[in-house]
Amino acid sequence: MSLSYGRQYLAIPGPSVIPDSVLQAMHRASPNIYEGELHDLTHSVIPDLKSVAMTDQNVAIYIGNGHAAWEAALANVLAPGDTVLVLATGLFGLGWADIAQGLGARAEIINFGAQAAIDLSQVEAALAADTEGRIKAVMAVHVDTSTSIKNDITGLRATMNRTGHQALLMADCIASLGCDRFEMDAWGVDVMVAGCQKGLMTPTGLSFVFFNEKADAAQTDNVSRYWNWRPRVKPEVFYQHFAGTPPTHHLYGLRAALDLIKAEGIDAVFARHAKIAQAVWAAIDVWGSAGPMALNVADPAQRSHAVTSVAMGSSIATDLREWTESKCGLTLGIGLGRDPAEDYFRIGHMGHLSGHMIMGALGTIDAGLKALNIPHGRGALDAASEVIATA
């Protein structure tokens, strides 16, 4: 039999669960794009996006996914032949480096592997060795979704300051914005990229490049017209916000999502993600106490609050994922970018997520372990509920 009935639960690290209020806001007739409500609504999302990113600087909106924001950000500051320093802690750091290379830049990649955060002493050495100041930008992923590693962006800024290097600090917050605490201005980030389909709970299709004056001053002369962030932040006509037709329904959805974040309060949003992540870790620690399951990242300070990568040591990870989906309607994330991918799965716990939802997901995984006779410690749900009980 199957118990996969009722509402499906997509617990992957993006796209995330879409709130009903977002779906309902999008279920409407096409608005006038030349004047009126849509213009007011677009102007209203800009300060709210900045407040989620904790910045007073600029935000350009692009119609596209995270890859579009990656390319948009780099296309504004890199000319062919420029050098960037990429700090990789998983697939997404390497993916962003690939975009830089595609634009003709030289990517110097330091790969810290898939289980621990950026080692700042290695970054310091690389910057100190660059006596000619060739490195135009340091690119780091705040939360690498493939490994669930969270990097210390403030520490990275401090390291850059210590060396006196003038490179731009560019951060990918596509997985972390609205989940893990991030403060663009206080943390000294020059460029930050994000998407709408993870912590911002909106169907994939909008992405954002936040940038400060230093980054704008570093804009390359050969930026393409479509990616140029300037007309998007200071449009003479509404059309220039989007270099064409606006993403009408996505803007309504995003407005509703930002309303949810505003109503809850950003600090409460971060605290909720932290508590839910701790419940997930508590369960996995118990399961792993008598079986093959293990958290990918050992140090809790280096773990994301938005996603957890789990190692199973064999392709039973894939069997478990298939069981939870086919038998109970819970879709877990694949072992993206891992080798071998079948040996890992990920739990997305970002965005529109409550205590009962995560307890349901953990209970379903617990049932899957039993159904598939995968050895595991008993009492994981008890451990998770102890965490939730302290909310």
Chain contacts with ligand PLP (rule: CB under 6 A):
14, 65-67, 92, 141, 143-145, 172, 174-175, 195, 204
Burial of 243 (0-12, 13-18, 19+ CB in 10 A): middle
CB of 172 to ligand PLP, least distance (A): 5
Please count the other Cβ atoms lying within 10 Å of the Cβ belonging to residue 226: 11
Beta strands 149-150 and 135-141: pairing type?
unpaired
Look up residue 182 and give its DSSP letter: -
Among 143, 31, 156, CA closest to 93: 143
Q: 3-state DSSP call for residue 345?
A: strand
The residue (of 151 and 364) whose beta carbon lies closer to ligand PLP is 151
What is the Cα gyration radius of the chain?
Answer: 21
Among 391, 304, 308, CA closest to 355: 391
Amino acid at residue number 334:
I
Please count the other Cβ atoms lying within 10 Å of the Cβ belonging to residue 267: 9
